Amino acid sequence: MPSSSSSSSFPLVPVLTLLLSLPLLFIIAPKFLSPKQIQITLPDELDDLALFRRASAAESQPHRLPGHRNHLGSTNAKPKIAFLFLTNSDLQFAPLWEKFFKNGSKDLYNIYIHADPTVKVSVPGGVFTADRFIPAKRTQRSSPTLISAARRLLANALLDDSANAFFALISQHCIPLHSFKFAYNTLFHRSITDLTQLGKLEYRSFMEIVSKAHFLKDRYNARGRNVMLPEVSFDQFKIGSQFFVITRRHAVTVIRERRLWRKFRLPCLSLDSCYPEEHYFPTLMAMDDPEGCTHYTLTRVNWTNSVDGHPHLYRSSEVSPKLIYKLRESNFTQSHLFARKFSPDCLKPLMNISDSVIFLD
């Protein structure tokens, strides 16, 4: 028969068992709980939130240039294009981009690079100097990390230079299809809506926004059935290219947005249907300012015979003047300015036709 001291002691075994099982709980919880129930704010997300708040506060200062008005004439500074390179490998096409930027003027652009820190990405040099690399975090497919990286690039570009008027998100697999001068004129002189009631000019964002796709329902329910409600109904859920060119006003909208982000940052239960970066930005723009967007992208991509959600990868044998002319074609008002997805072995043949075709507008 146990002693009285033994029978009154604290039950250590069950407590220890519970403590030891806690790590396991975090592993199996996603299988039984909805994403809404397991949402956690991580320390690195708090870092991003602080960055976004700084950028938002700076944008509210009276000395900052207005985000959506025509900058020409409002200040001595010329409006610039912020090129946001998102990469998880070396910038293999840096030499081609170097020629692209040399075609322009240094006071008309800025470069920002988000390189996955888990991969050793070399600094190309030239216009791609070490100080152009922003503090970055790991990116992973089928997760909201690609959205976070894009927002991080936008916030850094907003803070860095108030003359940044357009923000172009670029992949390491992207190439330019025209000269810098052509791209600059397309954005600042051919993409303007005349607001006669205000007597001012307003730029539009080149954001692809598509409402119909056969897989849209699966994408909508990737985090669980109707988990996106009530913030995003199925009718509000859009799809578009991950790569865009947006105005300063819309860049500010993105870094200030919290409501939709709480949904899109939730983990997916169905990874086969999980492409948050293709939905967050077009859904946000469609809900916030659909008239301020063209609803098409300036980055050409070939989805013919796509594999595992990846577009066609162009090889060196496919590079020719005819291909460049074909990629430029668009069903909309503006020619495509960029194209993807190109393998590293395309660099040499692209450089060979850079002066005679690509940059000869």
Work out the percent of the chain whose per-residue pLDDT is above 70. Answer: 80
Any alpha helices (H) in the chain, and if so which ranges?
4-7, 12-32, 35-38, 43-59, 94-102, 145-160, 180-189, 216-220, 248-256, 261-264, 280-288, 321-328, 347-352
Give the pLDDT of residue 43: 56
Q: What is the mean pLDDT of residues 34-48?
A: 58
Looking at the predicted structure, is the pLDDT value of residue 23 above 90?
A: no
Structural domains of the chain, ranges and CATH numbers in brackets:
38-358 (3.90.550)
Rounded Cα–Cα distance for residues 236 and 219 (Å): 13
Q: Are 166 and 245 in contact (CB under 8 A)?
A: yes
Give the pLDDT of residue 60: 86
Q: What is the mean pLDDT of residues 66-70?
A: 40
pLDDT range class, residue 14, cuts 50, 70, 90? low
Q: Which of 286, 255, 200 is nearest to 59 (CA)?
A: 255
Question: What does the pLDDT look like over 125-164, one tens digit per residue?
Answer: 999 999 999 999 999 988 999 999 999 999 999 999 999 9
Rounded Cα–Cα distance for residues 188 and 72 (Å): 9
Q: Are 203 and 166 in contact (CB under 8 A)?
A: yes
Question: What does the pLDDT look like over 255-296, one tens digit per residue?
Answer: 999 999 999 999 999 989 999 999 999 999 999 999 999 999
Question: What does the pLDDT look like over 194-246, one tens digit per residue?
Answer: 444 444 557 899 999 999 999 999 999 999 999 999 999 999 999 999 999 99
The structure's pTM equals 0.84
What token pair was written down for 317?
């044998």
What token pair was written down for 104?
């322009």
Poorest-pLDDT segment among 42-46, 155-159, 353-357: 42-46
